[in-house]
Every structure is written in structure tokens, then in C-alpha cells.
Amino acid sequence: MTTTAQAPPGEAKPQRKSSPKMSPQGSGKLAALLLSPTFVVLALVIAYPLISALRESLYRREEGVDESGFVVEGERFVGIDNYTAIFQGEVADRFWNAFVNTTMFTVVSVAIEIVIGVSMALVMHHALRGRGLVRASILVPWAIPTAVSALLWQWIFQSDGVANAVIGQQVLWTAEGQQAFWAVVIADTWKTAPFIGLLTLAGLQIISTDVYEAARVDGANAWLTFWRITLPLVKPALLVAVLFRVLDVLRMFDLPYVMIGARKSSVETLSMLAQDEATNLRYGPAAAYATVLFVYVVLVAFVFVKLLGADIIGEARTRRKEVKKRAPVPAPSTAQAGVGV
């Protein structure tokens, strides 16, 4: 994916310059004109809501009641008060709890999903007969709307449900406590490991069989082949899948909300805080929570791309060089990059 994305810009530039019919300036104007509808749409659906959410987060609705019992109307500018309120007193405890929950969900579920997803991909890659059927059936959980799968799992995890019948113990999964956290992790893994599996499978399928043959000739065993060849080569695809999943889990809402319930401190996430404020008509604080979550997500995405994304490009370059040199596999540099995962 990265390799193909990398190549065209380098080759495209000289081509454009060599075209004598259009001056660079004119083509720039035309490009701007042709792109303008896209920009207008982007401004409408991305910039406008973002800016007005930011604006909203600086206001607070009047909350008092006048003498005859009516709510005082209007809203007033409160500056960054909505933000500072998040980090003070009881509210801060709730915020940090939600922050930790959100982060833990992200780390734990994505880690489990990577292991299961990659295993699924390997199975699907090797299954020769009925591969289509296996692939389709693995995709089923991913195709189910989250709220629906949350209801399904709620049934499984209720006190007289299947989960308790299987383990033969009475665990109150949906009550407050550690077990609720794990119930959400299990349901989330069930739903989204197939996503990682499918993207990884796509990555596996573009690995040329030559490399594997070479490995076999060199006498590499199955584990070594996986660790030194499959994993490094599938890494770009896997990283994209993981990034998507991380961003997805950071804004997790429906699964804990539907399955476990609102305002349960063991599973409350940052999105649930924003929703809770909004349903109680405090749109300013709700927008502030949403903005804090937004900043957190951007930060994580940035760090992720900076740390691992740089690696993707570096690895792609080494790989190209290696192919040219027909270097023996496994090459030391690839192995190092692989350990980086």
C-alpha cells in the first residue's frame, strides 16, 4: 500500500512539467476550480461542525430558575471555564476514571484483537478449500451493528445467561466491577478482531511466494518464517488496521452504554461523559468533553504515525533495496524492523 502510494509522486512530477500545453499557473487554477466542490463539502461537514463545537464549548446555558419556576433562558460566554471544570473536584475523579477506562480498553482490546486477528488471517490465508466461506463467516461479527451486538452480548452475560452456564459459575457481568470491563473487552474483540484479520489477510496475499521458497531453501522453520518474513512484510497493512482500531476504541460508546449501562464507573468512557452532559442539556460542558477527547485522539494518532509510520516508510525503502540486491532472506535489517513491532 505504502509502496504504491510512494512511487507516483516521484514519477508524476516530471511528467507534468514536460507537458507543454498548459502553464503551471493555469493548471493550478483549474485544479483549484475542480477541487473546490470537494473543499466546500469538507468545509461544511468537517470544518463547520468542528469550529462550532469549539465555540459551543466556551459557552454555558443558564441553569437557574426564576421566581415563577421557569428556567432562565439564554447562554453566556464562560471562556475556558468548561475546560477547567473538568479537572476540578469530583468531576475530575470521574474524568480521570473515564480517561483510564478509555485508555485501558484501547490497549487491552487492541492487543488481544491483534493476536486473534493475525491468527485468523493466517488460517484464512492457508485454508485452500472453502476459503471464501471461512472469510465470509469470520466477517459476520464485523457486519453486525455495534448496538445490536451489545444487546446480543447482554443476553449472553446476564445472570441466567449463556456465559454463566458455560463457566458454571454465577458471575454478575453487568454489575459494577472488573468483570464488566472484561465483558466489554470480550464483546469488542469478538466484533472487531475480524476487521484486523481481513486487513492482515489482504497484506498476506501480496507477499510473493518466492520469498517463502527462498526461506525454505535456506532451511528456515515455520516460526522463523513467520517471525522474519511474514510479520515484517505484513506489517504495513497490519499497522493501518491497528491505527484504525485504536482510533475506533478511543471513541467507544455504544458497547459499554448498551451492554453494561450508563454511569457505571467500571466501564464509563470519555464519549459517555460527553453524552451524559448533552442529555442533561449542558451542551457547553459536553462540547468541552468532546474537544478534550478530540485532542486526545489526535495526540494518539500523531504519536502512532510518528513512531510507527516513519518505520513503515523506512522499511519499505529497505525492502526495495533488498529486492534490487536480491539479498538473502532473512536479511538482518528486516529482522530488526520486525522486532520493532
Partner 1 sequence: MMVGARALRGAVALAAAALLAACGSDSGNTGGGGGGGGGQPAALEGRGEITFVSGKDTSGNMQKLIDKWNTDHPTEKVRIVELPESADGQRQQMVQNAQIKSDAYTVLNLDVVWTAEFAANRWVVELPQDQFDLDNYLKPAVDTAKYRDKLYALPVYGDGGLLYYRKDLLDQAGLQPPKTWTELIAACQKVRGLPGTENMGCYAGQFEKYEGLTVNFAEAVQSAGGTIVNEDGTPAVNSSQAKTGLDTLVQGFKTGAIPQQAITFKEEEGRRAFQAGQLLFHRQWPYQWALANKTDGSSQVVGKFDVAPLPGVNGPGSSSLGGHNFAISAFAKNKATALDFIKYFSNEDNQRSNLLATSQAPTRTKLYEDSELVQKFPYLPTLKASIEGAKPRPKAVKYGDVTAAIQENAYAALTGTKSADQALSDLQKKLEELTKQ
Interacting residues toward partner 1 by CB under 8 A: 45-47, 49-50, 52-53, 56, 59, 63-65, 68-71, 73-75, 158-160, 170, 172-176, 240, 243-244, 247, 251, 261-264, 271, 274, 276, 278-281, 283, 286-287, 290, 293-294, 297-298, 301, 305, 309
Tell me the closest approach of the beta carbon of residue 109 to partner 1, in angstroms: 17
Tell me the closest approach of the beta carbon of residue 32 to partner 1, in angstroms: 19
d(CA 75, CA 72): 9
- Cβ proximity to partner 1, 225 vs 266, nearer residue: 266
- Cβ proximity to partner 1, 12 vs 47, nearer residue: 47
Tell me the closest approach of the beta carbon of residue 51 to partner 1, in angstroms: 9
Tell me how many degrees the CA angle 333-335-192 measures, rounded to the nearest 5: 125
Tell me the closest approach of the beta carbon of residue 67 to partner 1, in angstroms: 9
d(CA 185, CA 191): 10
Tell me the closest approach of the beta carbon of residue 6 to partner 1, in angstroms: 12
In angstroms, the Cα distances linking 26 to 22, 35, 37, 121, 297 are: 6, 14, 18, 48, 39
Nearest residue to 282 via CA among 120, 75, 60? 60
DSSP state of 197: H
Instruction: Quote the cell numbers at residue 203.
Output: 497484506
Tell me the closest approach of the beta carbon of residue 150 to partner 1, in angstroms: 13
- Cβ proximity to partner 1, 101 vs 174, nearer residue: 174
- Cβ proximity to partner 1, 124 vs 316, nearer residue: 316
Cβ partners under 8 Å of residue 36, min gap 6: none
Cβ partners under 8 Å of residue 65, min gap 6: 71, 72
* SS3 (DSSP) at 27: helix
- Cβ proximity to partner 1, 124 vs 287, nearer residue: 287
- Cβ proximity to partner 1, 135 vs 173, nearer residue: 173
d(CA 141, CA 117): 13
